[in-house]
Chain A
Amino acid sequence: MRLLQDQTAGQKLGESLIIQTAVRMLVPFIQLFGLYVIVHGHYSPGGGFQGGVILGASFVLLTLAFDQKFALKYMSEKANNMLSNAGALLFTGTATLCAICYGGMFLDYSALDKLLPLGPIAWRSFGIFVIEVGVGLAVMSISASLFWLLGSNGEMDEGL
């Protein structure tokens, strides 16, 4: 709450308490929905990419309603970078792991069955899930960082 007061004290044009409060309430739900879209990609439209963008959009919303410094508290630049690396690594790493497994080929998730026997087809399904998560992580962090960088002209301070 104290933070909120600080924000309102230096209020700029377009920042309103109503919006800020609404956004605060909304953001967790948006993020939840983003996660849902990623996880539920097997059964409904959506998947890592769309979910990742929605997660990223939640940070965009935070930035728009408050300012960039505030949003960066939730995900620092460093964390952002780590996440994007982690996401991309999760995908490529899984792909390579499949190849390293004896008799497996690149991106052949069923080969992971040799590590943890769940059945080849189940592994295919699970493998898709894993890489969707990877895509989601990467897309989330990068869509957020794209907006932050463009919005602050590369300074990563106040934002728009």
Chain B
Amino acid sequence: MIWILDLMILILVVVCALVAINVKDLLSATIIFGVYSFAMCLLWAEMGAVDVAFTEATVGAGISTILFVAAILHTSRRSKD
């Protein structure tokens, strides 16, 4: 565990989260949320939680994002806030 790397990823994660909830285009938000998940998964892998990281990679960054995309493509990409 390298705490500087850890901290950098953490900051990336926070930035991604902020962007994901603030960007007006929902599709972008979703993709950024995917990035967020992936960064999280990196973080956990680096913390020694391999199983959690694996799951987050398949679920959070994979299935979850895909479900979001599928839903957004059937509704609207626009968001007022």
A49-B70 CB under 8 A given contacts A56-B63, A57-B63, A146-B63: no
| CB-CB contacts below 8 Å: B34-81 with A | 50-51, 53-55, 58-59, 62-63, 66-67, 70-71, 73-74
State whether the Cβ of A110 lies closer than 8 Å to any Cβ in chain B: no
Interface of A: prevailing SS: helix
How many inter-chain contacts with C-beta < 8 Å in the A-B complex?
A: 41
In the complex, the answer to whether A54 meets B70 with C-beta atoms within 8 Å is no
In the complex the two chains form, what is the Cα distance from A147 to B64 in whole Å? 10
Is A153 in contact with B74, judged by CB distance below 8 angstroms?
yes
A21-58 residues at the B interface, CB under 8 angstroms: 45-47, 49-50, 53-54, 56-57
A45-B50, A46-B54, A160-B73 are contacts. A150–B67 as well, Cβ < 8 Å?
yes
Please tell me if the beta carbons of A147 and B54 are within 8 angstroms of each other in the complex.
no
Known: A56-B63, A57-B62, A57-B63. A50 touches B70 (CB 8 A): no
Does A62 sit within 8 A of B, measured CB to CB? no
Q: Which residues of B contact A47 (CB under 8 A)?
A: 51
Q: Is the CB of A150 within 8 A of B70?
A: yes
Within 8 Å CB of B50, what residues of A? 45
Q: A147-B70, A150-B70, A150-B71 are in contact. Are A53 and B51 (CB under 8 A)?
A: no
Instruction: Assess the A147–B66 pair: CB atoms within 8 A.
Output: yes
Cross-chain contact of B58 among A50, A147, A151, A160 (Cβ < 8 A): A50
Which residues of A lie under 8 Å from residue B51 when comparing CB positions?
Answer: 45-47, 50
7 further A-B pairs in the complex, CB-CB below 8 A; given A46-B51, A60-B63, A150-B70:
A45-B51, A47-B51, A49-B55, A50-B58, A146-B67, A147-B66, A160-B70
Q: Show the binding face of B for A, using Cβ within 8 Å.
A: 50-51, 53-55, 58-59, 62-63, 66-67, 70-71, 73-74
Q: Kindly list the 3 A-B residue pairs having the minimum CB-CB distance in the complex, ordered from nearest.
A: A151-B70, A45-B50, A53-B58
